[in-house]
């Protein structure tokens, strides 16, 4: 295994554990650290693939849970796979579907076999198991696929987390067995264990034995405090192999990204940049901007004077405010493009700072500007 993905650490920052790396996948190269935009239903919301690419995105995420229910992974397979179906020809990572299923609360039941759940679309009953997750992700044809895990709630007991974490390891073994295309789809394992160091150590030890092409630190972006998040990151990445990519799922704010990178994480994703865009919010180098604000009514300057994105090059805050107030789709289109560019540019700047051994200075300067003038 491992042929589907090659990874190398090109350089480590002299003052921190931040790494500058490079992944090779069947659909191209990805420079790390990297932010990955999310296209839940085989489309990054309100953006053409060319616009996503123009933001500097190198790899995007799609969701197993959503696509297995609609349109159905068999249809995507018959279309020639997800890349062809959605017209995105760079790398794609798919999640395992577990997170969405476990979020269904009383609509799902977890057993050793997997998770039995009711569809949020039509209430129909489905089983998502390690084997099913692999079948769906094999159908989708994504470059990186994720092992089926349970992401336990942050307030779960030690005993519950211990049992859940051990089951996730057993599920991972079944995933490896069921995965049909290890030569062209790289399977990542997910470390669990909540906020208990001994359970994290146990989880890491057990999954690292499988010598997979990459690993994720799971269960630390689901309602925990920032202190808990950093607490786990202080030791968890070091429990994973140095020469494999490390992924933290579901983080998309600059501070969560910077703290993770500093501790040796290479990959991260989040729906936040496109979600807040639809609510008229933008992330800029000077902090958050709420475009609905009346003070932008006659503000003919760009959203972010330091940004080189399509939106900032062509449109004013006054126009963006008008679009949002008028309920125009173009508002979400333009703010999404800016917000994704912001996180791609942050990733580029992070990579450059690591190459130049000045990640710590970069992070300090970024925070000064970002928090110094936020609304």
Chain residues in the site for a second copy (CB under 8 A): 41-43, 45-48, 51, 66, 70-71, 75, 78-80, 85-87, 297-298, 300, 314-316, 318-319, 321-323, 325-326, 328-330, 332-333
Rounded Cα–Cα distance for residues 335 and 353 (Å): 27
Q: Tell me, yes or no, if 95 is annotated catalytic.
A: yes
- Minimum CB separation from a second copy for residue 329, in Å? 4
- Minimum CB separation from a second copy for residue 81, in Å? 12
- Minimum CB separation from a second copy for residue 65, in Å? 13
- Minimum CB separation from a second copy for residue 61, in Å? 16
Q: Which is nearer to a second copy, 164 or 311 (CB)?
A: 311
Rounded Cα–Cα distance for residues 268 and 260 (Å): 9
Q: Which is nearer to a second copy, 226 or 314 (CB)?
A: 314
3-state helix, strand, coil in the chain (%, to 5): 45, 20, 40
117 token code pair = 């759940």
Q: Which is nearer to a second copy, 42 or 60 (CB)?
A: 42
Contact 236, 202 (CB under 8 A): no
- Minimum CB separation from a second copy for residue 69, in Å? 10
User: Quick one: DSSP state of residue 158?
Assistant: H
Instruction: Give me the residues paired with residue 126 across strands.
Output: 117
- Minimum CB separation from a second copy for residue 101, in Å? 18
Catalytic residue among 13, 206, 269, 304: 269
Rounded Cα–Cα distance for residues 38 and 2 (Å): 24
Q: Which is nearer to a second copy, 86 or 267 (CB)?
A: 86
The residue behind tokens 């995007």 is: 60
Q: CB neighbours of 208 closer than 8 A, spacing ≥ 6?
A: 189, 215, 239, 240, 241
Instruction: Give me the residues paired with residue 186 across strands.
Output: 144
Three-state DSSP class for residue 87: coil
Rounded Cα–Cα distance for residues 366 and 195 (Å): 29
The C-alpha angle with vertex 128 and arms to 45 and 191, in degrees rounded to 5, equals 80
Q: Which is nearer to a second copy, 314 or 352 (CB)?
A: 314
Q: Which is nearer to a second copy, 71 or 182 (CB)?
A: 71
Contact 215, 189 (CB under 8 A): yes
Residue 265: φ, ψ to 5°: -95, 145
Q: Which is nearer to a second copy, 72 or 368 (CB)?
A: 72
Q: Tell me, yes or no, if 31 is annotated catalytic.
A: no
- Minimum CB separation from a second copy for residue 43, in Å? 4
Catalytic residue among 95, 139, 206, 304: 95
Q: Which is nearer to a second copy, 20 or 321 (CB)?
A: 321
- Minimum CB separation from a second copy for residue 37, in Å? 14
What contacts 24+ positions apart, CB below 8 Å, involve 126-133? Answer: 126/68, 126/69, 128/65, 128/68, 128/97, 128/98, 128/101, 129/171, 129/174, 130/171, 130/172, 130/174, 130/175, 130/178, 131/174, 131/175, 131/178, 132/68, 133/64, 133/96, 133/97, 133/98, 133/175
Distances from the Cα of 134 to the Cα of 65, 72, 128, 230, 250, angstroms: 12, 14, 10, 31, 21
Contact 126, 67 (CB under 8 A): no
Catalytic residues: 95, 269
């Amino acid at each position: 295994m491992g042929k589907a993905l090659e990874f190398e650490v090109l350089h480590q920052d002299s003052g921190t554990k931040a790494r500058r790396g490079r992944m090779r996948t069947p659909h191209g190269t990805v420079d790390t650290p990297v932010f990955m935009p999310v296209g839940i239903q085989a489309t990054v919301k309100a953006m053409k693939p060319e616009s996503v690419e123009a933001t500097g995105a190198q790899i995007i995420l799609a969701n197993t849970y959503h696509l297995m229910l609609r349109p159905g992974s068999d249809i995507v397979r018959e279309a020639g796979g997800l890349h062809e179906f959605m017209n995105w020809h760079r790398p794609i990572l798919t999640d395992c579907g577990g997170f969405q299923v476990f979020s269904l609360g009383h609509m799902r039941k977890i057993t050793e076999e997997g998770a039995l759940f009711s569809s949020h679309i039509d209430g129909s009953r489905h089983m998502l198991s390690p084997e099913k997750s692999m079948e769906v992700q094999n159908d989708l044809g994504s470059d990186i696929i994720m092992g089926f895990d349970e992401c336990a709630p942050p307030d779960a007991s030690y005993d519950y987390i211990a049992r859940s974490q051990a089951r996730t390891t057993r599920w991972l073994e079944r995933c490896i067995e069921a995965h049909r295309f290890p030569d062209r789809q790289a399977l990542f394992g997910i470390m669990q264990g909540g906020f208990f160091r001994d359970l994290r150590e146990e989880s890491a030890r057990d999954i690292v034995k499988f010598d997979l092409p990459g690993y994720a630190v799971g269960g630390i972006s689901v309602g925990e405090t920032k202190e808990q998040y950093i607490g786990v990151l202080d030791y968890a990445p070091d429990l994973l192999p140095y020469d494999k990519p490390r992924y933290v799922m579901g983080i998309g704010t600059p501070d969560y990204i910077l703290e993770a990178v500093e501790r040796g994480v290479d990959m991260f994703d989040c729906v936040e940049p496109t979600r807040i865009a639809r609510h008229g919010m933008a992330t800029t180098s000077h902090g958050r901007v709420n475009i609905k604000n009346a003070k932008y009514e006659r503000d003919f300057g760009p959203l972010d004077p330091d940004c080189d994105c399509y939106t900032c090059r062509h449109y004013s805050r006054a126009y963006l405010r008008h679009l949002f107030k008028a309920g125009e789709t173009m508002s979400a289109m333009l703010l999404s493009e800016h917000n994704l560019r912001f996180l791609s540019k942050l990733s580029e700047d992070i990579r450059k700072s690591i190459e130049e051994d000045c990640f710590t200075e970069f992070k300090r300067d970024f925070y000064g500007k970002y928090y110094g003038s936020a609304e």
